[in-house]
Amino acid sequence: MKIMRPLGAVGIVASAALVLAACGSDPSASSSGSGSNSAAPAATGTAQVDCGGKSPLSGEGSTAQKNAIDVFNMAYGKKCSGQKVNYNATGSGAGVKQFNGNQVDFGGSDSPIKDADLEAATKRCGAPAWNIPLVVGPIAVGYHLSGVDNLTLTPQVIAKIFNGGIKNWNDPAIKAVKGNESLNLPDKPIQVVSRSDESGTTDNFQKYLGAAAKDVWTQGAGKKFNGGVGNGAQGSNGVATTVKGADGAITYVEGAFAKDGVTAAKIDSGSGGVALSPENVAKSLDSAKFLHEGTNDLAMDLNGIYASNVPGAYPLLLTTYEIVCSKYSNADVSKAVKAFLTVAATEGQRPLSSKGYVPIPQSLQDKVLTAVKAIS
């Protein structure tokens, strides 16, 4: 498979300006989807919080949830005066490694830990480790193509772009997608940009392709990009900045970064193109199931969502998790973790839609609060 030439030095390192911009706007404000936008009710209300314990708490991991963690931290400080969390956004792989190495109090991951990672986490805790979902957000198929700002892609076409099966923007397969007939698609190479670091966003994106375009995407999933084409950039900011600076580029990135020169494509799963928006993502959550039903490990099974064809539902999303011990050896850590997670699941959810995330629905909030209460 042909590897594309490097994009050059532009934007491989994330700029502080993009970080600030992503924190202060709603990238989905101008998006609209097809079909009904009936969505699951968002989490509301407050919960009793037993403040105190270790401060600052330490966390590390997912870059996708960094802006949400900042929101949670502000709400936590207001609810529990003097308490705060220091969170280092280094990527899901690093976060899991640091948590399992007992270097941080909780880890942040864009996909639930399992297998060897879960075994290592359980060994570190001396008790079961749990995946606690707190942040839901869309993954954008973000592109930069001069003169084209209303592109629709099917899962099959997306898969062919990211595994090298489609190499040019004027490929007949792209033109044939409903909604693209009138677009002036240029004779220009597609420059694929992927995450160079291990990332839960990569894992979720590849799982989506495996579920929604299983006959095309045979590369499998995992936190490393398996497509074999294009170039890599570090972190969410890195891929977004690279695409912004390269006409003809495309990537997968959290919805909060699809702005300022990075346009999110609509996705047509069979019922027409659906735009990335909080309402359209929330509609997809109606079909969410859990991998470990009946337990407080709330790892979600998203394959049903990825392969669905619900009119008006945006299916490409990720859920970020806080990886925690069900039982901590240090009571001060346990108390602070429970307080922080309780605030994050309640007051902390309300501002998230303005940051490009989707507040968790009430049904999920209830499960999260039950799990948090059980931490000891």
Binding residue ranges for phosphate = 62-64, 92, 110, 199-201
In this predicted structure, the answer to whether residue 232 has a pLDDT above a threshold of 70 is yes
Are residues 277 and 176 both part of a single domain?
yes
> Is the Cβ–Cβ distance between 98 and 107 less than 8 Å?
yes
Q: Which secondary structure element, helix H or strand E, spans residue 87, and what is its range?
A: strand 85-89
Mean pLDDT in residue range 230-254? 96
Q: Which has the closest alpha carbon to 344: 21, 37, 28, 57?
A: 57
- Amino acid at site 297: D
In this predicted structure, the answer to whether residue 6 has a pLDDT above a threshold of 60 is no
Where among 227, 253, 281 does a domain terminate?
Answer: 281
Would you give the DSSP letter of residue 189?
A: B
Are residues 175 and 130 both part of a single domain?
no
In this predicted structure, the answer to whether residue 341 has a pLDDT above a threshold of 50 is yes
Tell me what pLDDT residue 43 has: 59
Tell me what pLDDT residue 45 has: 63
Q: What is the CATH number of the domain that holds 106?
A: 3.40.190.10
Number of domains within the chain: 2
> Is the Cβ–Cβ distance between 334 and 376 less than 8 Å?
yes
Tell me, yes or no, whether 39 lies in a domain: no
The full DSSP string for 310-375 is -TT----EEEEEEEEESS-SSHHHHHHHHHHHHHHHTGGGGGGGGGT-BPPBHHHHHHHHHHHHH-
The mean pLDDT of the chain is 88
Tell me, yes or no, whether 34 lies in a domain: no
Residues 6+ apart with CB under 8 A from 53: 83, 331, 332, 333, 334, 335, 336, 337, 339
Domain of residue 238 covers 138-281
Strands (E), 165-316: 191-195, 231-233, 249-254, 263-264, 266-268, 273-274, 289-290, 300-301
Tell me, yes or no, whether 262 lies in a domain: yes
Least confident of 12-16, 299-303, 368-372: 12-16
Are residues 240 and 210 both part of a single domain?
yes
Tell me, yes or no, whether 38 lies in a domain: no
Are residues 165 and 264 both part of a single domain?
yes
Provide the b/e sequence for 332-353 (b: ≥16 CB within 10 Å). ebbbbbbbbbbbbbbbbbeebb
Least confident of 39-48, 211-220, 255-264, 352-361: 39-48
Tell me, yes or no, whether 158 lies in a domain: yes
| C-alpha distances in Å from residue 275, one per residue of 129, 215, 374 | 36, 24, 38
Binding residue ranges = 62-64, 92, 110, 199-201
Are residues 194 and 275 both part of a single domain?
yes
Q: Is 149 left (phi over 0), alpha (psi -120 to 50) or beta?
A: alpha
**pLDDT tens digits along 95-133:** 999 999 999 999 999 889 999 999 999 999 999 999 999
Are residues 161 and 191 both part of a single domain?
yes
User: Between these two residues, 33 and 120, which has the higher pLDDT value?
Assistant: 120
Tell me, yes or no, whether 46 lies in a domain: no
**pLDDT tens digits along 145-177:** 999 999 999 999 999 999 999 999 999 999 999
In this predicted structure, the answer to whether residue 34 has a pLDDT above a threshold of 90 is no
Are residues 274 and 354 both part of a single domain?
no
Tell me, yes or no, whether 248 lies in a domain: yes
User: Between these two residues, 64 and 206, which has the higher pLDDT value?
Assistant: 206
Tell me, yes or no, whether 347 lies in a domain: yes
Residues 6+ apart with CB under 8 A from 48: 342
Mean pLDDT in residue range 321-343? 98
Report, in angstroms and rounded to the nearest whole number, the Rg of the chain calculated over CA atoms: 20
Tell me what pLDDT residue 46 has: 76
Number of H helices, E strands in the chain: 12, 14
Are residues 142 and 221 both part of a single domain?
yes
Are residues 155 and 234 both part of a single domain?
yes
In this predicted structure, the answer to whether residue 30 has a pLDDT above a threshold of 70 is no
In this predicted structure, the answer to whether residue 183 has a pLDDT above a threshold of 80 is yes
Would you give the DSSP letter of residue 2?
A: P
Total residues belonging to the chain: 376
Are residues 181 and 131 both part of a single domain?
no
In this predicted structure, the answer to whether residue 54 has a pLDDT above a threshold of 90 is yes
Residue 368 to residue 344: CA distance in whole angstroms: 10
Where among 258, 281, 304 does a domain terminate?
Answer: 281
Where among 222, 256, 281 does a domain terminate?
Answer: 281
Are residues 149 and 273 both part of a single domain?
yes
Q: Which secondary structure element, helix H or strand E, spans residue 131, and what is its range?
A: strand 129-144
Are residues 231 and 162 both part of a single domain?
yes
